[in-house]
Amino acid sequence: MKHHDRSTTTRIPTWLYASIVMVACEPATVDDDGFGFQASGSTGVVATGGSSSGAGEAASATLSASSTISTSADESSTGVDECGVGAHCGDPAPASWFGPTVIAKVGDGVAMPDCPTDYPEAGPTMLEGYHDPGPAQCDCTCDLNVSQTCTSYTYSYSGAACNTYLNFQQFSQDCHDFAIGGSTYFYMYQAQQPFCMQNKVEEFPEATWDATIRSCKLPDDAVACGNGGACQPDAPEGFEAGLCIYKQGDALCPEGQYSEKFSYWAGVDDQRDCSSCTCGTATATCTGSMHVFDGMACGGNQVADVPSNYTCVPATGASVGLNFTGMSDCPIATAPEPTGTIAPSGNFTFCCQP
């Protein structure tokens, strides 16, 4: 018995093949970004042949082309550049400049922050906002030098009537340990020309500043990016947002992203002083009394006040001190005057990202 192949063949007319070839071969054009390609048009072709009377089954073909080929990711759609989240690609410091750095501005009495991990290299610590403290404050006094002008003696005796001599002591205004056995004499006289002792008083008010500047530099081995740039992590809390470059001296900021100029200082150059103080001719009368104390070093109780007229005074004590009551005049011949100036020194220019 012969078996007949019951499969049927659907024949597609010749004109349909031509239509498909023409649509599939339309020329492609370069897309807008310059990297992908996109077929022009978006055309569907439907071919139908035959009829219910034996012309064959309906054949249909649909062709559509609309595609784009891209070789790079669209960074603007993600908001992240090649340095990743929390960083950006920034320019390096130009020749003769240092940086980039982050800076923190710290007020008086506020603790200085440590350099952060991403900016570990400490740069110069600077000062901002100088306030001039003014000139030196100068004054002078001239006082009688009693120890060089007036000589004092005291004598110690046993008994109350200065009968039996025990000892003597020459002394000045300072306190002296000296035993009084029962009675004493005291005598003061002018030994030489009155002498004035000058005492110059100088005060130098300190300069004040608005802020202290901490600078911390990006390491030299930072991740490279872009066209010669470096990945710059965002400044941490407590630091200014914009990164800076710096150099010593007063300079113009270079062209580019570091365009905002700040002047900071390393300290002050203080040349302030006071001129000399001189005293005039002194006059004095050497009068006074001697205080006797029952304790050492003029401690305890004062037990006697002995006049300087060589009168015997009953007393028992362990120390004596001079009570000067004489008149003296020590005029100031030349008063001191402030000299010199104070000014900020060690200027640095910092140029920062706005």
Q: Write the secondary structure of the chain as one string of H (helix), E (strand) and C (coil).
A: CCCCCCCCCCCCCHHHHHHHHHHHCCCEEECCCCCCEEECCCCCCCCCCCCCCCCCCCCCCCCCCCCCCCCCCCHHHHCCCCCCCCEEEECCCCCCCEEEEEEEEECCCCCCCCCCCCCCEECCCEEEEEECCCCCEEEEEEEECHHHHEEEEEEEEECCCCCEEEEEEEECCCCEEEEECCEEEEEEEECCCCCEEEEEEEECCCCEEEEEEEEEECCCCCCEECCCEEEEECCCCCCCCCCEEEEECCCCCCCCCCCEEEEEEEEEEECCEECCCEECCCEECCCEEEEEECCHHHCCCEEEEEECECCCEECCEEEEEEEECCCEECCEEECCCEECCEEEEEEEEEEECC
- 100 preceded by cis ω (within 30°)? yes
Calculate what percentage of the chain has a pLDDT beyond 70.
77
pLDDT at 27 (0 to 100)? 38
Measured between alpha carbons, how far is residue 354 from residues 38, 142, 147, 242, 245 in Å? 42, 60, 70, 6, 12
Residue 37 has pLDDT above 70, yes or no: no
- Exposed / middle / buried, residue 71 (Cβ in 10 Å: 0-12, 13-18, 19+): exposed
Higher pLDDT residue, 274 or 173? 274
pLDDT for 75-106, tens place per residue? Answer: 433 345 688 899 999 999 999 999 999 999 99
pLDDT at 10 (0 to 100)? 38
pLDDT for 129-159, tens place per residue? Answer: 999 999 999 999 998 887 778 889 999 999 9
- Is residue 148 within 8 A of residue 190, CB to CB? The reply is no
pLDDT category of residue 343 using cuts at 50, 70 and 90: very high
Distance CA 74, CA 31 (A): 15
pLDDT at 147 (0 to 100)? 73
- Rounded to the nearest integer, the mean pLDDT of the chain is 80
Parse the chain into domains and list their residue ranges: 1-70, 81-354
Residue 321 has pLDDT above 80, yes or no: yes
Residue 345 has pLDDT above 90, yes or no: yes
Residue 303 has pLDDT above 60, yes or no: yes
**Predicted TM-score (pTM) of this structure:** 0.58
Calculate what percentage of the chain has a pLDDT beyond 90.
62
The position carrying tokens 């024949």 is 11
Read off the tokens for 223.
């991740």
pLDDT at 289 (0 to 100)? 94
- Is residue 164 within 8 A of residue 184, CB to CB? The reply is no
pLDDT at 81 (0 to 100)? 66
Higher pLDDT residue, 9 or 254? 254
Arithmetic mean of pLDDT, 191-199: 87
Residue 291 has pLDDT above 80, yes or no: yes
pLDDT at 210 (0 to 100)? 96
pLDDT at 18 (0 to 100)? 37
Distance CA 343, CA 265 (A): 10
